[in-house]
Amino acid sequence: MAKARQARKAKKMPASRARRKIPARRRAANAKRIAKPRPQQAFVVSHHKPDAFEVGLRRYAQYRDLGIAAATGGLARAHVIKMVPPCDPAEVSKRHYHDVEFQMVYVLKGWIKTEFDGAGAITMREGSCWLQPPKIEHTVLDYSDDCELLEIILPADFETVELE
């Protein structure tokens, strides 16, 4: 270790760039992770059209697919969600989680109030962004009549598990 430190000083190489010995087991795990083939991706553009929203997972929400799932071969999905007014807590307040690797939501318009395990009830407003860890249990509590969200999810196809 002292020789490596001396060599770094001589070359003025930052410690973060210094060569470190990596155990064989970790090298093999890294090789597997690096070797995993990714689906081919294609360039895609989605322009706003008011009639592009469709009924999807829930009756109280309409979804505008942005074409990301097809363009990434299923690696990711992105859609705009327009919440259907008025909010009916009896319908929307069903506890659930999504079996995903990544889920990010950004409020484009209006506001939405949701309760998350470990965080409690939070009202997100226009410009708010949050990350939902995989399988975090949550409940939509309320939303404004003009609520629109951008949601990005990995992978594109996933399961939603209703808990109530």
Which pLDDT value is given to residue 135? 97
- CATH code (residue 78): 2.60.120.10
- Give the pTM: 0.76
If you average pLDDT over every residue of the chain, what do you get? 86
Q: Examine residue 17 and state whether it is found in any structural domain, yes or no.
A: yes
pLDDT confidence bin for 128, thresholds 50/70/90: very high
Same-domain status, 30 and 81:
no
User: How many residues belong to the chain?
Assistant: 164
Domain, as residue range, for 107: 50-162
Same-domain status, 62 and 25:
no
Model pLDDT for residues 75-115, shown as the tens digit of each residue: 999 999 999 999 999 999 999 999 999 999 999 999 999 99
Model pLDDT for residues 7-24, shown as the tens digit of each residue: 545 555 455 445 556 566
Model pLDDT for residues 134-147, shown as the tens digit of each residue: 999 999 999 999 99
Which pLDDT value is given to residue 38? 77
Same-domain status, 30 and 54:
no
- Reply yes or no on whether the pLDDT at 47 is more than 90: yes
Same-domain status, 80 and 153:
yes
Same-domain status, 19 and 83:
no
What residues have CB less than 8 Å from 117, skipping those under 6 apart?
136, 137, 138
